[in-house]
């Protein structure tokens, strides 16, 4: 817990061989006198609060073997003479703000085995001479601003074991020459803009960890029949990979983590996945898969997480999943699954999260599930479930949103009484005597006669009823066939008088509904959400949003654009919309399709049931206010979605709390993204008046025609949104005799050392101050007046992940 500056007279210890001051609170700049310790072999000043540039003169430390300055706040460029420390074996500068290009002298470090420049601001291209550092075992250049192509000379590093280049701006394909790194064990190329196919060497080298997530890679996954089984982690998520998921993936017997989510695969979940005995995480979210879930999945006995949401899977949930005894997380939402919820899930005593929403599941919720001891979330909304909701520890407090849109469910939670259970009717024996009725002599002959007459009457009635029933069924079937034939003959949905309806005739003015996933675009008969104000969800700068329901029961949100006079031609409109439809990310509201006519344009999105962030921040009571963890997760989710948009060249332009939706589990979903691209030109005055309708989020450069509008505008809006989420206050609030600007209020509080007073009072002090202060600072950096001073969204994501406390931010009192 030492604090203060490093004394300059530390250089007066000429025989000092090792200096370790790591893990303190030392501040100030690094004194140049420290380089006078020419006998020093190891220098560790990591995890302090040192600032300023690294002074020149390090070349005097000719005995230096190891230097670590990680986890400080150092800036400026790396000294040009750093390569003169010829005996240096380890250089760790992780987690600073050092900038500029790599000095050429680094290539002289011929004995260096460890080089980490992670999480800085280095820029430019990675020079080819990096391949001359022959004995390098770890090269970590991740989360910087490097650009250009990855140098093929890296393939000359025969001793390399760890290669991390994630979070940069690398383009082009992954060099095949890296196959020359025979000792490579871990590669991380995630969060770049790499294109082309996956390199053939990824399954041929002895790699243990492979990550190519969040790039633009295409083609198939080249798993050979004969493969090194040493791979433990394989993350190829958020690319444009296609084809079938290869059955040969079962050859990766050491696999523990498999993430192929958000790609464009076809086919079904491979049966062979059940052969991966060590697999703990299986993530095929948003892969475009169809078919049924194989029962053989039970063979993956170590599974802890199964993520199959956002696909087109059909059939029933296999009961064999109940044999995956280690399972803690199960997500099969947004599919077309049918049948009942397996009671076998009650065998999974470690299960904490279940999401089966947005399917076609039927039957009742198994009562045995109420006995699961660790269950925290159980979302079965938007299905066809029926019956009473189980009682028990968990289901007594389950949020009603987790059960919504199941018309057959009943009970207090869904505010629908269950039908009373009536006693079985009493059947009287006609031959028994009734003591309450005076007995009279019975003529056996007359009784027999009446019984025969009654039987004949009954038979006649039954026959008549059967005849009528058969007639009704016949007429109904014929009508259905006529309608079905009419439907098949009509591939066009017309918009007439504000109603989406099906018509057997078309004309030049008719429009067509296009669904990107190829699903049936027909809406439920009588559903006229586009014109019915009762179904209106909200209005914004681009238009009004309505709720509608597809014929398969899936709810959707329809945005009716009110900028029709500004929208591009049909060809340009469809091209832009289809590009937006490909932007799949867990924190984006997915675009499902569109409708076009010259006078009317509709965009079809997934319906998000949890409402928008504005209502949660400004219209909720103290008891229902968002917790600190929920707010942090929302900020992180928004940042990840914006980073995904910016990597794909899309600017949001309209970021505000009303355009951030929360799903039933509280996860943030950003909507209204990229719609400005539908306009013929990005006229900032049109944007500021029609789109940026809420004061406070608009970047200052909108006021100047000479300044180019870039993704830095989104980062400004994000910064304002961060402050709004933390404080629970609007960007601009009008009081009776004053106007309060949120960013000015927070900046003043930070300068005066009272940040905790700005955090939403509804949290009642339950937030970690060690997270709150850095997030506030990050928000203020994002709203810098000069666009170039704002960080990129990739950097923002990385910073937020670093800010989050190791204990995953449990809610505790401020200190």
DSSP states of 87-111: T--EEE--SS--EEPPPGGGGG-TT
At 330, list the tokens.
Answer: 């199960």
pLDDT for the residue 424: 41
Tell me which residue has tokens 């031609």.
569
Q: Is 560 annotated as a binding residue?
A: yes
DSSP states of 351-383: --EEE--SS--EEPPPGGGGG-TT--EEE--SS
- The C-alpha atoms of residue 15 and residue 788 are separated, in whole angstroms, by 46
pLDDT for the residue 510: 53
pLDDT for the residue 732: 85
- Helix, strand, coil percent values for the chain (each to nearest 5): 30, 20, 50
Phi, psi (degrees; rounded to nearest 5) at 379: -110, 110
Strand, helix or coil for residue 467:
helix
CA atoms within 13 A of residue 158's CA, in its CB half-sphere: 1
Which residues of the chain carry a pLDDT beneath 50? 421-461, 475, 477-509, 525-529, 531, 681-693, 807-815
- The C-alpha atoms of residue 642 and residue 298 are separated, in whole angstroms, by 37
- The C-alpha atoms of residue 38 and residue 31 are separated, in whole angstroms, by 15
pLDDT for the residue 770: 85
710: left (phi over 0), alpha (psi -120 to 50) or beta: beta
In this structure, what DSSP letter does residue 182 have? T
Instruction: Return contacts of 700-705, CB within 8 angstroms, 24+ apart.
Output: 700/785, 701/787
pLDDT for the residue 210: 95
pLDDT for the residue 419: 74
- The C-alpha atoms of residue 715 and residue 652 are separated, in whole angstroms, by 10
Strand, helix or coil for residue 632:
helix
What does the CA dihedral 232, 233, 239, 243 come to, rounded to 10 degrees?
20
Cβ burial of 424 (10 Å; 0-12, 13-18, 19+) is exposed
What does the CA dihedral 287, 289, 295, 298 come to, rounded to 10 degrees?
-10
- The C-alpha atoms of residue 774 and residue 772 are separated, in whole angstroms, by 6
- Taking alpha carbons only, the member of 639, 633, 631, 626 closest to residue 799 is 639
CA 156 → CA 177, 402, 411, 471, distances in Å? 8, 55, 68, 82
- For residue range 705-750, what is the model confidence (pLDDT) as tens digits? 555 678 898 999 999 999 999 999 998 887 766 778 889 889 888 8
At 673, list the tokens.
Answer: 């993204």
Instruction: Return contacts of 337-341, CB within 8 angstroms, 24+ apart.
Output: 337/293, 337/313, 337/361, 338/314, 338/362, 339/315, 339/363, 340/316, 340/364, 340/366, 341/317, 341/365, 341/366, 341/369, 341/380, 341/385
- For residue range 406-448, what is the model confidence (pLDDT) as tens digits? 989 988 777 788 875 444 443 334 343 343 333 334 344 433 4
pLDDT for the residue 470: 59
The angle, 0 to 180 degrees and rounded to 10, between the axes of the packed helices 628-647 and 793-803 is: 150
pLDDT for the residue 595: 84
- The C-alpha atoms of residue 610 and residue 488 are separated, in whole angstroms, by 36
Phi, psi (degrees; rounded to nearest 5) at 581: -65, -20
Strand, helix or coil for residue 637:
helix
Give the Cβ contact number of residue 336 at 10 Å: 17
pLDDT for the residue 573: 79
Range 176-210 burial, b when 16+ CB lie within 10 A, else e: ebbebbeebbbbbbbbbbbeeebbebbbebebbbb
At 804, list the tokens.
Answer: 């989050």
Beta bridge partners of 385: 363
Three-state SS for 223-246 is: CCCCCCCCCCEEECCCCEEEEECC
Domains parsed from the chain with CATH numbers: 1-112 (3.80.10.10), 516-607 (3.30.200.20), 609-815 (1.10.510.10)
Taking the alpha carbons at both ends of the chain, their separation in whole angstroms is 16
Residues 6+ apart with CB under 8 A from 356: 317, 330, 332, 333, 337, 341, 379, 380, 383
Beta bridge partners of 100: 122
pTM: 0.57
Instruction: Find how far residue 697's CA is from the centre of its chain.
Output: 23
Residues 6+ apart with CB under 8 A from 77: 53, 98, 99, 100, 103
pLDDT for the residue 386: 92
- Taking alpha carbons only, the member of 545, 465, 558 closest to residue 515 is 558
């Amino acid at each position: 817990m030492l604090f203060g500056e490093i004394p300059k007279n530390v250089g007066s210890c000429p025989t000092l061989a090792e200096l370790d001051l790591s893990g303190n609170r030392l501040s100030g700049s690094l004194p140049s006198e420290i380089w006078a310790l020419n006998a020093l072999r190891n220098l560790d000043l990591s995890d302090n609060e040192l600032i300023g540039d690294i002074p020149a003169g390090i070349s005097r430390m000719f005995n230096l073997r190891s230097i670590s300055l990680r986890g400080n706040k150092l800036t400026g460029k790396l000294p040009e003479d750093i390569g003169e420390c010829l005996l240096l074996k380890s250089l760790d500068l992780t987690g600073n703000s050092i900038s500029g290009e790599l000095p050429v002298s680094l290539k002289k470090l011929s004995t260096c085995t460890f080089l980490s420049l992670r999480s800085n601001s280095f820029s430019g291209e990675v020079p080819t001479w990096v391949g001359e550092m022959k004995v390098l075992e770890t090269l970590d250049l991740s989360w910087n601003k490097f650009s250009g192509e990855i140098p093929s000379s890296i393939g000359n590093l025969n001793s390399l074991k760890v290669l991390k280049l994630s979070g940069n701006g690398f383009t082009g394909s992954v060099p095949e020459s890296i196959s020359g790194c025979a000792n490579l064990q871990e590669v991380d190329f995630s969060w770049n803009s790499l294109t082309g196919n996956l390199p053939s060497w990824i399954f041929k080298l002895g790699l243990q960890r492979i990550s190519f997530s969040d790039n633009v890679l295409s083609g198939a996954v080249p798993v050979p029949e004969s493969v090194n089984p040493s791979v433990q982690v394989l993350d190829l998520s958020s690319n444009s990979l296609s084809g079938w998921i290869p059955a040969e993936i079962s050859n990766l017997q050491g696999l523990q983590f498999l993430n192929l989510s958000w790609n464009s695969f076809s086919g079904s979940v491979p049966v062979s996945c059940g052969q991966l005995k060590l697999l703990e995480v299986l993530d095929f979210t948003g892969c475009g898969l169809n078919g049924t879930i194989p029962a053989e999945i039970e063979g993956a006995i170590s599974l802890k997480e199964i993520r199959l949401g956002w696909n087109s899977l059909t059939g029933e949930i296999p009961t064999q999943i109940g044999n995956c005894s280690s399972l803690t997380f199960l997500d099969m939402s947004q599919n077309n699954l049918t049948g009942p919820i397996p009671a076998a899930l009650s065998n999974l005593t470690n299960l904490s999260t279940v999401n089966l929403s947005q399917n076609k599941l039927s039957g009742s919720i198994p009562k045995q599930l109420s006995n699961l001891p660790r269950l925290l979330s159980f979302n079965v909304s938007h299905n066809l479930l029926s019956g009473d909701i189980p009682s028990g520890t968990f289901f007594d407090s389950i949020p009603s949103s987790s059960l919504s849109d199941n018309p057959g469910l009943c009970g207090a939670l869904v505010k629908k009484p269950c039908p009373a259970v009536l006693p079985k009717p009493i059947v009287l024996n006609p031959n028994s005597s009734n003591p309450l009725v005076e007995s009279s002599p019975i003529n056996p002959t007359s009784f027999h006669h009446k019984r025969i007459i009654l039987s004949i009457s009954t038979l006649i009635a039954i026959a008549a009823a059967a005849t009528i029933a058969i007639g009704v069924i016949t007429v109904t079937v014929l009508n259905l066939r006529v309608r079905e034939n009419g439907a098949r003959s009509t591939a066009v949905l017309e918009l007439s008088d504000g109603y989406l309806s099906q018509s057997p005739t078309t004309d030049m003015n008719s429009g067509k509904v296009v669904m990107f996933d190829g699903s049936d675009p027909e809406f439920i008969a009588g559903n006229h959400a586009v014109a019915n104000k009762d179904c209106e969800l909200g209005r914004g700068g681009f238009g009004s949003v309505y709720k509608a329901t597809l014929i398969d029961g899936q709810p959707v949100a329809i945005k009716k654009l009110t900028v029709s006079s500004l929208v591009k031609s049909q060809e340009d409109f469809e091209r832009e919309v289809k590009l937006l439809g490909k932007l799949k990310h867990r924190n984006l509201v997915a675009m499902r399709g569109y409708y076009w006519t010259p006078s009317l344009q509709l965009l079809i999105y997934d319906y998000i049931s949890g409402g928008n962030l504005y209502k949660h921040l400004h219209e909720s009571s103290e008891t229902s206010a968002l917790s600190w963890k929920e707010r942090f997760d929302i900020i992180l989710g928004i940042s990840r979605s914006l980073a995904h948009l910016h990597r794909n060249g899309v600017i949001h332009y309209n970021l505000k709390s009303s355009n951030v939706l929360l799903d039933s589990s509280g996860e943030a979903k950003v909507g209204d993204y990229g719609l400005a691209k539908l306009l013929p030109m990005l006229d900032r005055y049109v944007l500021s008046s029609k789109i940026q309708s809420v004061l406070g989020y608009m970047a200052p450069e909108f006021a100047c025609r000479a300044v180019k509008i870039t993704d830095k505008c989104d980062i400004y809006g994000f910064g304002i949104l961060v402050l709004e989420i933390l404080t629970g206050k609007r960007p601009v609030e009008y009081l009776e005799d004053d106007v309060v600007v949120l960013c000015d209020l927070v900046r003043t509080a930070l300068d005066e050392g009272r940040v905790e007073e700005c955090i939403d009072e509804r949290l009642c002090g339950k937030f970690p101050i060690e997270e709150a202060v850095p997030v506030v600072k990050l928000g203020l950096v994002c709203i810098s007046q000069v666009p170039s001073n704002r960080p990129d969204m990739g950097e923002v994501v990385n910073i937020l992940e670093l800010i989050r406390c190791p204990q995953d931010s449990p809610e505790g009192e401020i200190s």
